[in-house]
């Protein structure tokens, strides 16, 4: 019941934000971030119609995905080691959201080519320039854009960001705007349509929708507080 109610609230929150921003209803996809939560919880979301789930660790996705109905779709939203790329693609992950370097992108393209597929990815951008964070800096992405877009077995769908935590949701707005403007600039430069912007989490997804997000990654607002004590996170 809890998960069902939370899902209803978030779907309504997304719809209201779409309307405020003058965006068409249904232009935002809700990714339910199920990391650390058991399959029983994910099944509750599934029973309520949710099909798209996100895990930040491939290992956890590999444990859970086979226990869920076949029509579930999975995104990997956390950092991916190069030696795990093949496993991720073999699992049939729909979107690798956190490709954070040219080296990793090149590895994904090469392995996708070996498997005879095209891999759908997002490029993670470090929007607030913190040294410790993953992702391309905006200037780094500009500099490597031609090499990235020339990789033959990738479908670069768009950009993703995880802004530094802020006290209130409004605080994330400038970071979301930075990502949106960068995507617009790269779209203009070509040659990719870059339809996806993955931004917004439990506390700020409505702001992200107002700023153009197409994928909001919501975990704790659906499933409750995460308990890291029993896992390796
Ligand atoms: C955990 C996680 C989320 C979801 O965070 P919540 O605050 O629980 O909604 C979103 N994106 C990434 C990359 C995450 O690791």
CA 191–ligand 1 middle distance (angstroms): 30
**Counting atoms of ligand 1 from 1, which one is nearest the CA of 217?**
10
Query: Could you read off the pLDDT of 62-120 as tens digits, one per residue?
Result: 999 999 999 999 999 999 999 999 999 999 999 999 999 999 999 999 999 999 999 99
Query: Could you read off the pLDDT of 147-206 as tens digits, one per residue?
Result: 999 999 999 999 999 999 899 999 999 999 999 999 999 999 999 999 999 999 999 999
**Counting atoms of ligand 1 from 1, which one is nearest the CA of 202?**
9
The reported pTM is 0.96
Rg, C-alpha atoms of the chain: 17
Please give the CATH topology (third level) of the domain spanning 2-230.
Answer: TIM Barrel (3.20.20)
CA 115–ligand 1 middle distance (angstroms): 30
Query: What string of H, E and C letters represents the secondary structure of the chain?
Result: CHHHHHHHHHHHHHHHHHHHCCCCCCCCEEEEECCCCCHHHHHHHHHCCCCEEEECCHHHHHHHHHHCCCCCEEEECCCCCHHHHHHHHHHCCCEEEEECCHHHHHHHHHHHHHHCCCEEEEEEECCCCCCCCCCECHHHHHHHHHHHHCCCCEEEEEEECCCCCCCCHHHHHHHHHHHHHHHHHHHHHCCCCCCEEECCCCCCHHHHHHCCCCEEEECHHHHCCCCCCCCCC
What burial class does residue 183 get, using C-beta atoms within 10 Å of its C-beta: 0-12 exposed, 13-18 middle, 19+ buried? buried
């Amino acid at each position: 019941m809890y998960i069902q109610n939370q899902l209803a609230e978030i779907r309504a929150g997304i719809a209201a934000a779409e309307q405020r921003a003058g965006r068409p209803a249904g232009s935002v996809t809700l990714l339910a971030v199920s990391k650390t939560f058991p399959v029983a919880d994910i099944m509750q979301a599934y029973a309520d119609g949710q099909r798209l789930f996100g895990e930040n660790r491939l290992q956890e996705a590999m444990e859970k995905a086979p226990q869920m109905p076949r029509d579930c779709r999975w995104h990997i939203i956390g950092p991916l080691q190069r030696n795990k790329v093949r496993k991720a693609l073999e699992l049939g992950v729909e979107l690798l959201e956190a490709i954070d370097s040219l080296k990793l992108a090149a590895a994904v393209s090469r392995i996708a080519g070996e498997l005879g597929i095209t891999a759908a990815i997002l490029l993670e951008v470090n929007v607030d320039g913190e040294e410790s964070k993953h992702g391309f800096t905006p200037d780094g992405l500009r500099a490597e854009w031609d090499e990235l877009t020339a990789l033959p077995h990738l479908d670069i769908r768009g950009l993703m960001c995880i802004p530094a935590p802020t006290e209130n949701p409004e605080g994330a707005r400038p970071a979301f705007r930075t990502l949106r403007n960068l995507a617009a600039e790269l779209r203009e430069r070509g040659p990719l349509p870059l339809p996806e912007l993955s931004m917004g989490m439990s506390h700020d997804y409505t702001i992200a929708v107002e700023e153009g997000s197409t994928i909001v990654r919501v975990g704790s607002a659906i499933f409750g507080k995460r308990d890291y004590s029993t896992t390796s996170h």
